[in-house]
Amino acid sequence: MKRKPLGGYLYITPLLIGVILFSVYPVIQVIWMSFHEISLADIRSETFIGFRNFKDIFAMEDPPFISVVWVTFAFVGGSVLFHVGAGLALALLLNLGWVKGKNFFRNLYMLPWITAGIMVGYTWSFLFEPRAGILNYLMSLVHLPSQSWTADPKLALPSIIIANIWRGVPYSLILETAGLQSINMELYDAAVVDGANPLQILTRITLPLVKEFILLNLILDTGLTFQVFDTIFAMTAGGPLHRTETFSIFMYYTAFKFGKIGMGSAISLLLLIFSLIIAVIYIKFFRPGKERYA
């Protein structure tokens, strides 16, 4: 019986240590803290209270927990829908043979993604500014009334969604481009010879072959969008009237403004659970059954 060499395990040991320290341990710590009463004023004092933090979260009235859930899912759903849709459309456009300067445009589209979220928030706050904002100025040119975008309870949520869409589309563009470039071009040549039109090529060749990349895009982008904090905080800080208070903002106020570290940890645990549930739904929807290979 051959002995397995230990060299391979030694090579991956630093990576495993990093994963444990920066991924596994924080999750375990958050789970442990969510079942304790911990105050920011005396963070070393811990009292086990079971599920009381979760009960208090569900019973909150300012803001109501259901309101935070609705705002979060509206923000995530609107952002991810346009991230994936616009990213795929741009990737398809830049994958066309007759398009010139592909690398230039791909690099240009990456600028919003590499920009710090806090800067994105302040930039869009200026664009949406009621008196000196560019958007209201453009609206005045066509004789439309100006709007208080981020201060209006009806427009604040769409405003932060627009800002987050602008920042997140490049991420989807890169993932979808990788999927499109993995397709064998001979399939397209054979389809053209068989008389397939562009719509048939798209629906019967391109989309089925990039389905796994779309699934990966949805899972990763949803998780990242759930965690968006800096852009929202810079634009609205969760207001007005809690209309843009997502889970991340709710968790920040609970843990660091009101000093309830245990309850803040419970909120982050709920956020993790929601993310995992949505990931499972994505996988079930895109992969209803396991393919069998001979």
Is the pLDDT reported for residue 59 higher than 60?
Answer: yes
Whether residue 13 is contained in a domain is answered as no
Q: What residues contact 263, with CB distance under 8 A and at least 6 apart?
A: 53, 56, 57, 254, 255
CB-hemisphere CA count at 13 Å for 244?
Answer: 29
Find the CATH number of the domain harbouring 146.
Answer: 1.10.3720.10
The SS3 assignment for 164 reads helix
Count of residues making up the chain? 294
Whether residue 120 is contained in a domain is answered as yes
Is residue 273 within 8 Å of 34, Cβ to Cβ? no
User: In terms of DSSP H, where are the helices of 95-149?
Assistant: 102-109, 111-114, 117-127, 134-141
CB-hemisphere CA count at 13 Å for 69?
Answer: 11
Across 261-282, average pLDDT: 92
Which of 42-51, 168-177, 250-259 is predicted with the least confidence, judged by mean pLDDT? 42-51
Is the pLDDT reported for residue 1 higher than 80?
Answer: no
Whether residue 132 is contained in a domain is answered as yes
Whether residue 221 is contained in a domain is answered as yes
Whether residue 166 is contained in a domain is answered as yes
Q: What is the predicted pLDDT for the residue at 292?
A: 42
In angstroms, the CA 110 to CA 276 distance is 28
Q: What's the token pair of residue 291?
A: 């393919």
Whether residue 36 is contained in a domain is answered as no
Segments forming the whole domain that contains residue 86: 64-245
Using pLDDT thresholds of 50, 70 and 90, give the confidence band for residue 293: very low
**pTM value?**
0.89
pLDDT tens-place string over residues 97-122: 777 888 888 888 888 998 999 999 99
DSSP-derived secondary structure letter, 5: P
Whether residue 5 is contained in a domain is answered as no
Query: Could you tell me which residue, 275 or 4, shows the higher pLDDT?
Result: 275
Is residue 277 within 8 Å of 69, Cβ to Cβ? no
pLDDT tens-place string over residues 232-268: 999 999 989 999 999 999 999 999 999 999 999 999 9
Q: What is the predicted pLDDT for the residue at 221?
A: 95
Number of domains in the chain: 1
**H or E segment to which residue 198 belongs:** helix 198-201
Is residue 68 within 8 Å of 246, Cβ to Cβ? yes
Whether residue 229 is contained in a domain is answered as yes
Q: What's the token pair of residue 12?
A: 């991956």
Q: What's the token pair of residue 203?
A: 């629906």
In angstroms, the CA 191 to CA 185 distance is 10
**How many CB atoms are located within 10 Å of the residue 276 CB?**
12
Query: Could you tell me which residue, 271 or 288, shows the higher pLDDT?
Result: 271
Q: What is the predicted pLDDT for the residue at 105?
A: 84
Helices 65-94 and 102-109, interaxial angle, to 10°? 170
Q: What is the predicted pLDDT for the residue at 101?
A: 82
In angstroms, the CA 50 to CA 34 distance is 8
Q: What is the predicted pLDDT for the residue at 133?
A: 87
